[in-house]
């Protein structure tokens, strides 16, 4: 198909969309979509993160939102030309709504629109002061009452939370809270980020000493400031900590360290939260309108209890409490678990001449980091992708444009390639007794992460130690502890000076229960997962990450988390939702998530 024909057909579809929007003709718009079509909207039309699946759901969404949102001016993005491959036309687009501007990606099949991604990028009249709108900074001329930038920042830091109240409080100062705080700062939303640690970045510094990012650098940029070109592919934890500390200063965040929320409650009549904070020994009461829990996608540490723990004469730690191998040289350590943290800890212990045993309780998906980079991420996030003109924003949008309902279909062949490429590696693990899995449907790591957030390891060296027998492996369930050992259900007795429970984390819902109330936690319902009816991700199908980056059933309460990629990308949409509410814009939410209780 010639480029001109591809462009002409794409423009015809966009023109038809615009005509349907202008006429308010939902049926006409529905007819443009293929039978197996998907419209994924990130705030632009739904004021939600929502995927409509098929023409009927698309029609329902438009019937609810069309009059209020007023989508219009769908057109090809300037400088972009549609492409065609295997009968699928792909095109970058821009559009407007009554209050905002956005961009997206459209894919066409013979029978109509197959996938459509619409993502809000800015609010009209409230654009970020960047590019041609950047502030002047120093104002030339003479002014006897001039305040310097330093004086203004000092005044803001001293008064916000005391003389004046923030519109938004973010609980949690890791990458999620920092990324969102930066977005809100640029949008002019008065915000305080609360962190219980001594310094920004200590969430990373305080973890076990061998921790490093398993995702490559191109995948991990934060908003506005990318890692420099000489940044390592896999960042050590303390280097990440330093970067986050620098970032909070450069982005001028109102970041409160040594500040822990003791309780929070919402006054529906006043439309505000009361948030009690222990700020370095001082009780401070904040009264924000919006409260964001950025306490980490994984939630609270899961620390199971077993009979005999009180009688154990050694040390028992959760992996989040484990500082590293230095104190255990020449000792016996049992690590309960077989996912990322367990492997990292075992490798670091082995390097320090510790007698270490891993207890694998259930099957684990493993993919080598080099293979993941080459096959899984290389087309979007790699040096080669950058050289080919791929930007971080484009990569994020391409990733986001594949609806979760069919994403596994694109992942399965990638992981089949990985399994074939590293066949000898996997054979070695199985020979060592390691129980592998590839997800319920063979779709591998990323779908496991989206569906339940656990059950995998990106191998950076520990697997070979298991293959070689350097890290001992046993399979089974912990039954009880004795004075000097962990005993499994089959009677296997593992002597130990230290037991590390690399047993993962619970739901973010647990933080809502602790900080606010169990009633509010129940009102929100499940957090994370898609409802895919796969292991640990029971239905019903939601089609988006449950309760993340979007309105919840609890008024003015938001949840924000995920890896660095998700913190970067989805912080924009959450920030725009908060800014719109601050400015009093109409934000009619379509498809608010129903409550599916944890208990």
- Report pLDDT for 1: 42
Q: Which DSSP string corresponds to 435-500?
A: -B---TTS-HHHHHHHHTS-SEEEESSHHHHHHTTSSEEEES-EEEEETTEEEETT--EEE-SEEE
* Tens digits of residue pLDDT in 133-152: 998 887 777 778 888 889 99
Q: Give Cα 217 distance to the centre of its chain.
A: 16
Which value, in Å, is the radius of gyration of the alpha carbons in the chain?
25
Taking all residues of the chain, what is their mean pLDDT, rounded to a whole number?
94
What separation in angstroms does the CA of 182 have from each of 136, 176, 219, 357?
19, 10, 18, 43
Q: Are residues 69 and 182 in the same domain?
A: no
Within a domain: residue 587? no
Within a domain: residue 139? no
* Tens digits of residue pLDDT in 325-367: 999 999 999 999 999 999 999 999 999 999 999 999 999 999 9
* Tens digits of residue pLDDT in 10-36: 999 999 999 999 999 999 999 999 999
Quote the tokens at residue 493.
């007795």
Within a domain: residue 130? no
Q: Are residues 193 and 267 in the same domain?
A: yes
Q: Are residues 184 and 84 in the same domain?
A: no
Q: Are residues 216 and 291 in the same domain?
A: yes
- Report pLDDT for 299: 64
- Report pLDDT for 453: 65
Alpha-carbon distance of 73 to 14, in angstroms, equals 9
Q: Which residues pair with 286 in a beta bridge?
A: 275
Q: Which residues pair with 104 in a beta bridge?
A: 93, 118
Alpha-carbon distance of 336 to 322, in angstroms, equals 13
Quote the tokens at residue 534.
């796969």
What separation in angstroms does the CA of 100 have from each of 112, 188, 461, 558, 576?
26, 17, 47, 21, 10
Pairing of strands 168-171, 191-194: parallel
pLDDT at 540 over 60: yes
Pairing of strands 168-171, 290-293: parallel
pTM metric for this prediction: 0.95
Among 465, 463, 503, 446, which Cα is nearest to 317's? 503
Rounded to the nearest 5 percent, the helix, strand and coil shares of the chain are: 35, 25, 40
* Tens digits of residue pLDDT in 69-85: 999 999 999 999 999 99
Q: Are residues 200 and 310 in the same domain?
A: no
Q: Are residues 167 and 257 in the same domain?
A: yes
Among 109, 105, 89, 118, which Cα is nearest to 21's? 118
Within a domain: residue 287? yes
- Report pLDDT for 3: 62
Within a domain: residue 62? yes
Q: Are residues 223 and 102 in the same domain?
A: no
CATH number at residue 166: 3.50.50.60
Query: How many Cβ atoms from other residues are within 10 Å of residue 237's Cβ?
Result: 19
Q: Are residues 394 and 542 in the same domain?
A: no
Q: Using 50, 70 and 90 to split pLDDT, how confident is the model at 300?
A: confident
Q: Percentage of the chain with pLDDT > 90?
A: 88
Within a domain: residue 44? yes
C-beta of residue 128 within 8 angstroms of C-beta of residue 101: no
Quote the tokens at residue 490.
């089959």
* Tens digits of residue pLDDT in 394-428: 999 999 999 999 999 999 999 999 999 999 999 99
Q: Are residues 382 and 448 in the same domain?
A: yes
Alpha-carbon distance of 140 to 150, in angstroms, equals 17
Q: Are residues 326 and 358 in the same domain?
A: yes
Quote the tokens at residue 450.
């989206």
Alpha-carbon distance of 181 to 169, in angstroms, equals 9
Mean pLDDT of 42-62: 98
To which residue do tokens 């984390």 refer? 505
Within a domain: residue 91? yes
Residue ending a domain, choose from 454, 476, 494: 454
* Tens digits of residue pLDDT in 246-293: 999 999 999 999 999 999 999 999 999 999 999 999 999 999 999 999
Residue ending a domain, choose from 440, 469, 504: 504
Pairing of strands 259-267, 272-279: antiparallel
Among 161, 188, 175, which Cα is nearest to 575's? 188
- Report pLDDT for 297: 64
Quote the tokens at residue 336.
């309960």
Q: Are residues 573 and 429 in the same domain?
A: no
Alpha-carbon distance of 253 to 339, in angstroms, equals 34
Residue ending a domain, choose from 474, 504, 534: 504
Pairing of strands 493-495, 498-501: unpaired
Q: Say how many domains are in the chain.
A: 4
* Tens digits of residue pLDDT in 363-396: 999 999 999 999 999 999 999 999 999 999 999 9
Question: Which is higher by pLDDT, 453 or 55?
Answer: 55
Q: Are residues 158 and 245 in the same domain?
A: yes
Mean pLDDT of 461-488: 97
pLDDT at 598 over 80: no
* Tens digits of residue pLDDT in 426-442: 999 999 999 999 999 99
pLDDT at 599 over 70: no
Within a domain: residue 310? yes
To which residue do tokens 């890290």 refer? 471
Q: Using 50, 70 and 90 to split pLDDT, how confident is the model at 575?
A: very high
Domain range enclosing 292: 153-300+511-582
């Amino acid at each position: 198909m010639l480029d001109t024909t591809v462009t002409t057909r794409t423009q015809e579809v966009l023109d038809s969309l615009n005509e349907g929007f202008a006429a308010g003709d939902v049926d006409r718009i529905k007819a443009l979509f293929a039978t197996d079509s998907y419209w994924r909207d990130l705030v632009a039309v739904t004021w939600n993160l929502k995927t409509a699946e098929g023409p009927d759901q698309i029609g329902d969404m438009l019937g609810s939102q069309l009059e209020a949102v007023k989508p219009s001016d769908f057109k090809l993005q300037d400088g972009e030309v549609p492409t065609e491959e295997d009968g699928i036309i792909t095109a970058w687009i821009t559009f407007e709504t009554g209050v905002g501007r956005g961009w997206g990606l459209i894919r066409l099949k013979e029978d109509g629109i197959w996938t459509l991604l619409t993502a809000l990028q800015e609010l009209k009249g409230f654009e970020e002061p960047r590019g041609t709108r950047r502030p002047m900074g120093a104002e030339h001329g003479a002014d006897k009452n001039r305040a310097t930038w330093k004086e203004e920042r000092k005044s803001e830091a001293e008064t916000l939370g005391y003389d004046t109240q923030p519109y938004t409080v973010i609980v949690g100062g890791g990458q999620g809270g920092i990324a969102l705080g930066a977005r809100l700062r640029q949008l002019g939303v008065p915000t305080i980020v609360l962190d219980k640690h001594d310094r920004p970045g200590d969430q990373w510094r305080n973890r076990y000493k061998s921790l490093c990012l398993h995702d490559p650098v191109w995948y991990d940029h934060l908003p506005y400031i990318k890692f420099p070109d000489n940044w390592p592919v896999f960042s050590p934890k303390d280097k990440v900590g330093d970067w986050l500390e620098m970032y909070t200063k450069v982005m001028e965040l109102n970041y409160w360290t040594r500040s822990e929320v003791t309780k929070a409650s919402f006054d529906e009549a006043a439309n505000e939260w009361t948030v009690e904070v222990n700020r370095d020994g001082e009780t401070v009461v904040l009264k924000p309108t919006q409260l964001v829990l950025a306490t980490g996608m994984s939630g609270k540490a899961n620390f199971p209890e077993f009979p005999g723990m009180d009688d154990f004469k050694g040390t028992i730690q959760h992996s989040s409490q484990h500082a590293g191998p230095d104190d255990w040289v020449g000792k016996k350590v049992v690590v309960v678990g077989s996912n990322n943290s367990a492997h990292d800890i075992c490798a670091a212990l082995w390097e320090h001449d510790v007698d270490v045993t891993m207890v694998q309780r259930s099957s684990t998906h493993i993919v080598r980091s080099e293979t993941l980079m080459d096959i899984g991420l290389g087309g979007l996030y790699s040096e080669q992708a950058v050289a080919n003109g791929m930007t971080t924003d484009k990569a994020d949008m391409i990733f986001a444009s594949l609806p979760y309902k069919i994403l596994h279909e694109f992942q399965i062949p990638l992981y089949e390639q990985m399994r074939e490429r590293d066949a000898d590696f996997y054979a070695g693990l199985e020979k060592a007794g390691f129980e592998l899995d590839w997800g319920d449907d063979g779709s591998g790591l990323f779908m496991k992460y989206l569906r339940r957030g656990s059950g995998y390891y990106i191998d950076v060296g520990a697997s070979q130690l298991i293959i070689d027998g350097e890290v001992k492996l046993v399979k089974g369930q912990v039954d009880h502890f004795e004075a000097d050992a962990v005993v499994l259900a089959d009677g296997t007795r593992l002597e130990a000076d230290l037991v590390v429970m690399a047993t993962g984390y619970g739901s973010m819902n647990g933080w809502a229960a602790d900080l606010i109330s169990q009633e509010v936690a129940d009102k929100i319902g499940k957090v994370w997962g898609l409802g895919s009816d796969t292991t640990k991700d029971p239905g019903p199908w939601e089609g988006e990450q449950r309760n993340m980056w979007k309105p919840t059933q609890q008024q003015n309460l938001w949840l924000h988390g995920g890896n660095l990629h998700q913190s970067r990308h989805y912080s924009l949409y959450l920030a725009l939702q908060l800014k719109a509410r601050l400015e009093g814009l109409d934000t009619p939410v379509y498809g608010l998530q129903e409550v599916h209780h944890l208990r």
